[in-house]
Structure 1
Amino acid sequence: MAGAVAASYVGRLTDHFNKNHIIIVSVLIIIISWVVLGLSHASIIGLIIGALFLDLGIQSVHIVNQTIIFEGNPPERNRINTVYMVMYFVGGATGTLIGGLAWTHFQWMGVSIAGGGFGLLVLLAHLGLRRRGNN
């Protein structure tokens, strides 16, 4: 729900703001959402808030990534988008596997730590690539 509402808003933001900054803020929202989710295992309101922020962050990063794809190399954007979407689903399937293993061994806190850890890895990778000059 939050992602659907944010989609057009984030799309407009990409026209006016630095896309790297939007990605950083979005990934920080993802990390914060996992903290909220981890601390809210017994609170339905906390789980709802965490899930809404998680959806907002993930959809925002996705929209900015696709905006970057569609802006660059127009003749090849369909192929690039295909590779991006395949990797997006591979990442989702891998996250599901790891989330299932985290639940089996560590329950909700393990899932929250794994999700937040992936968010932190994405942030560090993005900042590392940005410092090297890759966008």
Structure 2
Amino acid sequence: MKHLLLTACLLGTNVSAQSAMTGPEFDAYTQGKTLFFAADGQQYGVEEYLPDNRVRWSFMDGQCKEGLWYEQANQICFVYEDSVRPQCWSFYLSPGGISAVFEDNSDGRVLYEVQASSEEMICLGPEVGV
């Protein structure tokens, strides 16, 4: 996994020189996949891309959020069940996978795909107390 993280970081260094993916390009690449992402060399999260622009996100803690994505102003925006405020990203495709630049603030966060799978995500059920 460390080798994948290093490779992903190196491949993502020139994202600003590339054209951002369009909604149809993003959909064609992600549809039916579960993608694992890293940021700053550390595991960040996993997202499952479902039919009809639906997604399921987790910070890899077993807790999942359902959401939708849509294209707006050359960005891919996500709205999840726990927030009405969209999170918008610019996605870039390279031979090593996709990278995403968070566009909603100036922290410059970049996520890099480190693994792709056709397996469904594992989500824990709701917490039940005694």
Asked which structure has the greater CA Rg, the reply is 1
Same fold (TM over 0.5): no
Structure 1 or 2: more helix by fraction: 1
Larger relative contact order (Cα-Cα within 8 Å, sequence gap ≥ 6): 1
Structure 1 or 2: more strand by fraction: 2
